[in-house]
Structure 1
Amino acid sequence: MSTNDTLSLFVRVVSRREEAEGIASFELADPHERALPAFSAGAHIDVRINDEIIRQYSLCGHSAKNDRYRIAVLREAESRGGSAGMHDSIHEGDLLQISAPKNHFPLEPARRVVLFAGGIGITPLLCMAEHLANTDTDFELHYCARSRARMAFLDDIAASPFADRLSTYCDDDPEAGTLDVAASVGEPEPDTHVYVCGPAGFIDHVLTTCKDAGWPTEQLHTEYFSGVQVDSADNDSFEVKLASSGATFTIPADKTVHQVLAENGIEIMVSCEEGVCGTCLTRVLEGEPDHRDLYLEEHERAANDQFTPCCSRAKSKCLVLDL
């Protein structure tokens, strides 16, 4: 069971709308019409979908407005209950338990910004585009999808003050052209930042292209919505030792650290269970983690002093955890 003690807010679903094929948006408001906590572009909230499932969704409404939150959810073909639960069980008038906004994908001060959205990755970038347009920042938004029918918020963007900053690319529209990442970002400049959100393959393509062109890592910003799938047949077993008690547990190839500890009555706060959100981040006192997450940055991984027990494993025979 996923646990999270930060879900301190209750909101009502005041509207639900089908934004595109397989994508529904939900507008959330305080039941007593009070202002909601402020948030910045790139922020997300945790949403309790049911007693067992908590998921993170980017806020895609205007960050200057605090009377509504808007999120959008893609129904995943192989949903583990999160996106299917939102689509099948959450309706107008329902109460939801959520966290205050958090931001692991913030905008940095820049003269120029280039935004790359793949599919549902448009959600945090839409909020960024709204903010950048209101601050007169030079920016452009590149939006890719498999088909135009699967592109959410096109009407909203067309009616926005940044409609002329949008370029769209989709497989079923040959006239739309093909995204040229290298041409879009241009030569590296110290006051330009690049933001990309979407499927892992899309993100990796943008990052690889930028890095090959000499763009510094600190000017490239990403947010993943799902973890990397790893075949458990490639895993080795290892041991985890708890510093507080000395208790040692064997982690088999087909189970995660979180699963084994939970089976033994040791709860770690988890949410996405894919190494994306960082909720379960745990301090490592001894041993070398095998990082399988998409949350930690390269320098944080190199430090080897923390890891995500929901998905990461060990390169050493044992990890001593600060638990």
Structure 2
Amino acid sequence: MIADNNFLLEAGRQTLMLELQEASQLPDRLGDDFIKAAEAIINCKGKLIVSGIGKSGHIGKKLAATFASTGTPAFFVHPAEALHGDLGMVESQDVMLFISYSGGAKELDLIIPRLEEKSVVLLAMTGKSHSPLGLAAKAVLDISVEREACPMRLAPTSSTVNTLMMGDALAMAVMQARGFNEEDFARSHPAGALGARLLNKVHHLMRRDTEVPQVSIHASIMDAMLELSRTGLGLVAVCDEQLQVKGVFTDGDLRRWLVGGGALADNVSLAMTVNGTTLNAQSRAIDAKEQLMKKKISAAPVVDDHGQLVGAINLQNFYQAGIL
């Protein structure tokens, strides 16, 4: 049978409305058990082990990854694998978050006693608080639903949404309690866009050595012009004998000087922009880029904490590093 478009749209909307209706009840369920679960994870001296079977297991893998990337050492263990050796990875200082809507997974009959032997704190995410899982757990997170969004009321739909949302709520609460911030997150994602934005410093991206356009304060405008042409950066740092940047000579400065009737043999200090913009080598790359954008300039010399020239950078260097 080929369904018409209206049927497909209505079926999709009904699914979403049912799942949203069930999920809307979750905030009112957060109470003492949620606090106990969060505190158990925050105070955990070992790792958070997440476990579950079927759809719960798929959600559990995602939640373990979320915890791991937000400051809580965590990994997922499949219950069947746990019973065939992986329980050896679980130690007394660990916390286990077991996800099972029914709370009666057969694997729990063997897992729960082993956890009790090791004094491992057990947290439950279940729809049946009086199940074997719920009764054995230190804290129970209620993910129960009145009905699944599946028209046959069989396929886990509303319940998996509740599981995901409850897990995210727990992870975000723990993350904020730890004071986990953007830079901490970036360290867990060094290859991502956020990592590029927050971890890179100016000295990681800047041009160095012979790629840095510079002339002495005693140089002529002709010298500065040749240095402009050599490096193609659009500016030249004008420095004294101690490499202190005294000014910046740009393509615009050159044009203005020549249009005004100036000579190429004149000293560069007459045409340069005195105390032009410089960037600190230790500053965050994203902040440096914003500084250039705000001042509507495309490049700047880079100095160290003592004001000495150590490099140069332009907007293209930021873009190449993924800082957009």
Q: TM-score, normalised by structure 1?
A: 0.27
Name which one, 1 or 2, has greater alpha-carbon Rg. Answer: 2
Q: TM-score, normalised by structure 2?
A: 0.27
